[in-house]
Amino acid sequence: MNPVNIGAADLEALWLTLRLAAVTTLLLLAIGVPLAWKLSHWQSRWRHGVEVLITLPLVLPPTVLGFYLLLLFSPNHASGQWLAALWGEPLVFSFTGLVIASVIYSLPFMVQPLLASFSQNGKRLTRAAAALGMPPHAALLKVLLPASRPAIVSACALTFAHTLGEFGVVLMIGGAIPGETQVVSIALFQHVEALEYGAAHRLALVLLVVTTALLLLARWLGRAVSATSREERFMGVPG
């Protein structure tokens, strides 16, 4: 029925993982762009502190982050009760909890490339836009974002791929509830523990192929514009 013969539970895990990665990437894009824009303009000694905070998930062991989130979300603590009351259901061992954790965990993968691009081009382009009468929000949306397209594409690809591979954080706050919190990396781990190497092979291969394809796609998207135009130029299009 399916070419790589993946079980129904594994397919569900795969679908859950893709959903998690997609939601996380979209949320992070919405958070990351204004955050990086503000940071690139921010002339304060606090800027370094905030940048360190954003970079922290990059170096912090995922289990440490997961542990603190578990405490935060736990219904045994006031914070967890408050969050559960706010959301309507406990966040721990839930898809929503996973999304929040993923957003924090992948934050540097979205913000760092954007920040680098905004800091490099941002000042020059915003000044040029203002000097043509464009207000700041127009400078961001109509000048800076189009100019930062390669950085945005690569930031999204990195975030998506990074979320696909999440393990430690999910293990701590999500567990392995099929269809709710059992992501591919957890399912793979469970197959290996149960000595089901065939199923493990199949899942691992799917992840390998998907992530490789994703990175190739990102490279292609980032270069598509300049490559075609350069070709045109060599073909003798006037210019």
User: For binding to another protein (CB under 8 A), which residues are involved?
Assistant: 121, 124-125, 127-136, 138, 142-143, 146-149, 225-226, 229-230, 233, 238-239
Q: How far is the CB of 127 from another protein (least distance, A)?
A: 5
Judged by DSSP in three states, 48 sits in: helix
Q: How far is the CB of 129 from another protein (least distance, A)?
A: 7
Nearer to another protein, 128 or 194 (CB): 128
Cα distances from 198 to residues 7, 184, 193, in angstroms, run: 11, 15, 12
Judged by DSSP in three states, 167 sits in: coil
Nearer to another protein, 77 or 123 (CB): 123
Nearer to another protein, 77 or 124 (CB): 124
Q: How far is the CB of 71 from another protein (least distance, A)?
A: 44
CA 188 – CA 205 distance, rounded (Å): 11
The pair of structure tokens assigned to 205 is 């291969």
Q: How far is the CB of 147 from another protein (least distance, A)?
A: 4
Q: How far is the CB of 175 from another protein (least distance, A)?
A: 43
CA 215 – CA 8 distance, rounded (Å): 27
Nearer to another protein, 65 or 143 (CB): 143
Are the C-beta atoms of residues 210 and 164 closer than 8 Å to each other? yes
Nearer to another protein, 30 or 128 (CB): 128
**Phi then psi dihedrals of residue 189, to 5 deg:** -60, -40
Q: Which residues contact 16 (CB under 8 A, 6 or more apart)?
A: 95, 179, 180, 181, 182, 183
The span from the first CA to the last CA of the chain, in angstroms, equals 54
Nearer to another protein, 3 or 135 (CB): 135
CA 179 – CA 190 distance, rounded (Å): 15
Q: How far is the CB of 155 from another protein (least distance, A)?
A: 15
CA 212 – CA 34 distance, rounded (Å): 29
